Structure 1
Amino acid sequence: MACRVLQVSTSGYYEWLGRPEPPRELRNKELTKVIRQIHADSRGSYGSPRVHAELTLGLGEKVNRKRVERLMREAGLQGVYRRKGRSNLVNQATEEDLVQRRFDVEAPDRLWLTDIAEHPTGGGKVYCAAVMDAYSRRVIGWSIDARQNTDLVVNALAMAVARRKPDARSTVLHSDHGTQYTSWVFGKRLRDAGLLGSMGTVGDSLLTG
């Protein structure tokens, strides 16, 4: 009946039904599956720019940003949009605060705290990024540089991971909302190490914990 209404032959319908999907449609399905996973891993916070960065820089996928935007829109996915206004956006965390200022833990490698300290020297300022185990209060990773950039905090994290080899998904790394800790590179290193990211407000982690 459907063939008669649509004025197509029955043989033509079954030929179309058995035809394989075009390569582009298959590719879109594969990308959408990966996009859904990236969006879920970000707790629904990533918009198309961050998802696109994960795809291209993190996974090596060759896809343009407009295609990612379209696929996210078709899948009903969107990031967290921060309204412009009088609120202080610097203090808004991109990771959930898993600590809530509860810094007492019952075992090592359950909670790590990280922050950056500035030190004046005769030759100018230097910056030290440190990672501290909240249980022992010992610094387990550090990095010193004349620049306060993402490499500074990534190197400190790498040292801590290499020395302690924490169990995946059982160690929380708590930081403030500094730009070094909200960068894509630091977030990827955090996930690669299997650590759970946690963020408070600016100045609310290592030095005040």
Structure 2
Amino acid sequence: MAPSSYYRHQQQSQHPQQRSRRCLKDEHLLILIRNIWQQSRQIYGARKVWRALLRDGHRVARCTVEHLMRKHQMQGVWRGKGKRTTVCDPQLQRAGDWVKRRLSAESPNQLWVADFTYVTTHQGFVYTAFVIDVFARRIVGWKVSKRMDTDMVMDALAQALYARCPKGVIHHSDRGSQ
């Protein structure tokens, strides 16, 4: 930290009126934002808090409200349900659990675990399937797709089999839909 920054902080702590107008305005806005957010039982997000400020006659930019709420960990409630990726068919027969939640191995290519997840991007969801060697703790096969289907998972497993050519490997995955 630069000495000048330290001394400026000390000076402003002792004399708050010497802080910048922006800092003073943000401090005042933060009190208003927190009051509106608390009155809404912490349901309102930045947009609704901003609209409430405008209704009360306070001229403030929405990005300023977003910035202050994010900086002070104030977040509204999200609408809708989350993305549901695992929809299993209860009629399907499942493979037995040979691992019994003991996810450790003494040598490479002894135990592989597999799973898939989704990542939100600007253009929508992208699904990623991966196979991990438990001993090396490395991804040995993976696949990225715009669709969540069995082919994506099988391609990740095929890549791992081609790359490692294992003998007697135990492949463990959760009981998801793929």
TM-score, reference length from structure 1: 0.41
Greater CA radius of gyration, 1 or 2? 2
TM-score, reference length from structure 2: 0.48
